[in-house]
Each structure stands twice: as C-alpha cells, then as structure tokens.
C-alpha cells in the first residue's frame, strides 16, 4: 500500500489574509510642490498663483493625486488649498502625502470597512511576506485590532511557519 500525501495545512481550517492583495491597482499621480518654489525652497505668492493658473491640471484627470513637498520648505496651508482648488475638477481623490502614504491610507480604509464575520471564532494567519509591496507595521496593527474581537486565534507569517500573536482564552 502506497503512502498518501496529506496536505495538513489545507485541512487545518486556517484562514490566510494577504494585505498586499488589498493594495489598489491604481497608481496615483504626484504633485511635488518643491517644483513650484523659488530655488525649490521659497514660496513667492504671486509667482506661485501664476504657476498654478498655467499648470496643466488636465493631466491628473481620473486618477488620485498625491500632493506633498519633498523640500524642507515652509509652505503656508493656503498653498495646499489653492492646489486642491485647481486639481478638484480633474480628480476627486486629492491626498496630502506621498504615494506610499496614500497606499497605506487605502489599506487602513479597507481594514476599517472589513467585515469580520467570516473570521468569527476562526484561526487566522496574516501573511507576513509580500511580493514587491511593503506593508507597514501600522497596517498589521490595525488589522490585529480589527480581528481580535472576532477570531479564535491570530498568527503572523506563513501557514508552514507562524508566529502566534493572539489566542482567545478558553471560556471567553
């Protein structure tokens, strides 16, 4: 009689969540305010207003826009408001921050709206490695906070090698 291979991981009832699957397929446009500053350091109001009027805002049509300043400059808040005023007709998702920060916010929003009922009293693994996508600790913390009230146990890693994170006490 031949030995039959049994996939114990598949039969274990573990549910694996992969946060990298929640990263949007969309690549947002970026608007670096540094490029509109005098010597990439100083905002001159009249020149800045003129540059905003002449800027091709249509290039951002239909995609999210990440607005930030990569220079170590003091930028008044009204400058960001002016950018939003010009960009608004072309994009409905204007975000203050870098592309990476925008992605993190999208992941946090997804976690916030996540229905945890499928994970009620289940053993859940949050996959730790991702293919080319950096998942920050704030995402793992938010996901842990969301799942702890529902899950029986929570682990981190791969099904073949997990790190226990949470186990509901018996009777709780």
Query: What's the confidence (pLDDT) of residue 3?
Result: 65
| N-to-C CA span, the chain | 45
What is the predicted pLDDT for the residue at 93?
A: 93
pLDDT for 60 beyond 70:
yes
Is residue 146 very low, low, confident or very high in pLDDT (cuts 50, 70, 90)? very high
Average pLDDT over residues 96-119: 96
At residue 172, the pLDDT reads 66
Q: What is the pLDDT of residues 125-143, one digit of tens each?
A: 998 876 777 889 999 999 9
* Predicted pLDDT at 36: 95
- The beta-carbon contacts of 72-76 under 8 Å, at least 24 apart in sequence, are 72/41, 73/33, 73/34, 73/37, 73/40, 73/41, 73/42, 73/43, 74/43, 75/33, 75/37, 75/43, 76/43
Residue 11 pLDDT > 50, yes or no?
no
User: Mean pLDDT, to the nearest integer, of 90-103?
Assistant: 94
What percent of the chain has pLDDT above 90?
78
Cβ atoms of residues 26 and 64 within 8 Å: yes
Residue 7: band (very low, low, confident or very high) from pLDDT cuts 50, 70, 90: very low
**Could you tell me the sign of the dihedral formed by the alpha carbons of 73, 79, 81, 87, in that order?**
negative
Q: Does the structure show a pLDDT above 50 at 118? A: yes
Q: Is the pLDDT of residue 154 over 80?
A: yes
Residue 58 pLDDT > 70: yes
């Amino acid at each position: 009689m031949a030995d039959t291979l049994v996939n114990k991981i598949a039969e274990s009832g573990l549910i694996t969540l992969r946060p990298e699957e929640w990263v949007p397929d969309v690549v947002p446009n970026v608007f670096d305010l540094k490029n509109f500053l005098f010597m990439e350091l100083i905002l001159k109001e009249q020149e800045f207003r003129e540059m905003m009027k002449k800027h091709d805002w249509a290039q951002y049509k239909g995609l999210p826009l990440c607005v930030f300043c990569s220079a170590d400059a003091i930028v008044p808040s009204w400058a960001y408001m002016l950018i939003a005023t010009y960009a608004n007709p072309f994009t409905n998702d204007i975000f203050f921050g870098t592309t990476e920060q925008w992605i993190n916010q999208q992941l946090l929003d997804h976690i916030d709206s996540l229905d945890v009922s499928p994970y009620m009293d289940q053993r859940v693994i949050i996959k730790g490695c991702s293919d080319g996508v950096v998942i920050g600790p704030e995402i793992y913390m938010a996901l842990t906070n969301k799942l702890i009230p529902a899950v029986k146990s929570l682990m981190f890693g791969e099904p073949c090698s997990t790190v226990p994170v949470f186990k509901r006490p018996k009777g709780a």
